[in-house]
Homo-oligomer: A and B are copies of this chain.
Amino acid sequence: MEDLNEVYLSPLPDSPYVKPFRFNYTQNGKKKTWDLLEIHDSVAIIVFNITRRVMIFVKQFRPAVYYNCISRQDRESNNIDTKKYPASLGVSLEVCAGIIDKNMPVEQIAKEEVLEECGYDVKVTDLQKVLAYRSGVGVEGAVQYMFYCEVTDDMKTEQGGGVDDEIIEVVEKTIPEIEEMLQSQSILPSPPSMVYALMWFIHHKADKFRKTFERTCVECKVK
C-alpha cells in the first residue's frame, strides 16, 4: 500500500466523480453565489465480528488526506517528493463504505461493500439502520446512510480488500482498542463519521461483547 511515487497534480478534466459548479441564488432579496460539488450519496457500515469480538475497519491510501499533509509551498512543485511525504501520511482508517453508483436499494449496496471490502457475506436483513446524515454541508451535501451488522468467522467467504484497482487492508480492533481511540485528542487519519460510528458502537452495542475478565473488579476480583 505504501509504495508510492510519480505524484503530481494536473487540472481537473471532465470527471465522473467530481463535478464542481457555481450555485447562484437570491436570498432575502440579495444575490449570492456558492461554489459546490456534485458527489454521489454513499453508505457506511459498522461491521463487528462476534466470533472474535473485534470491529472490522478498512485502511487505504487516500489522495485527499495525503494532499492535505503537503505544505502549500511544496504543492506548487511539479513532482511531490515522496521521500519527504511518505505514503503513510495519506493512509486512513475508516469503517467499510462505498458510493451509491448503482440503481439498487441502499441495503443491497451496503451488503456488496461489506463483501468487497471486508470479505464477509452478510444478508440484507442482517443490516441494522443506524442513521442517515449529510456527508457535508459546505461544498458537498450528499447523504450517507450508516448501518451496523454483526458477522461471524464463518461468514468470511472472500478475501476482501476491494475490487479492481483498490488496495484496501482489512484491520481488526478490540473493544479496549476502540475505547483508546476515542480517548485520543486527534484521530487524523479518519473522518467524523468514523468517530461517530465508534461512539455509537461503544454506547449501544459494546457491553454485550465485553469479555468477562474486563469486568472483573480489580479490588475484590469478583466478576
Which residues on A are within 8 Å of B, measured CB to CB?
1, 3-13, 15, 17-18, 20-32, 34-39, 41, 61-68, 87, 90, 92, 94, 129-144, 165, 167, 184-196, 199-200, 203
Contacts and interface: CB of A to CB of B under 8 A. Distances in A.
Given A39-B138, A65-B137, A134-B190, 10 more contacts: A18-B36, A18-B139, A67-B141, A130-B185, A133-B192, A133-B195, A134-B189, A195-B196, A196-B196, A203-B203
Contacts of A199: 196, 199-200, 203
A24 B9 contact: yes
A129 B187 CA distance: 13
A193 B196 CA distance: 8
Contacts of A24: 6-10
A35 B18 CA distance: 6
Contacts of A17: 35, 139
Nearest to A16: B35
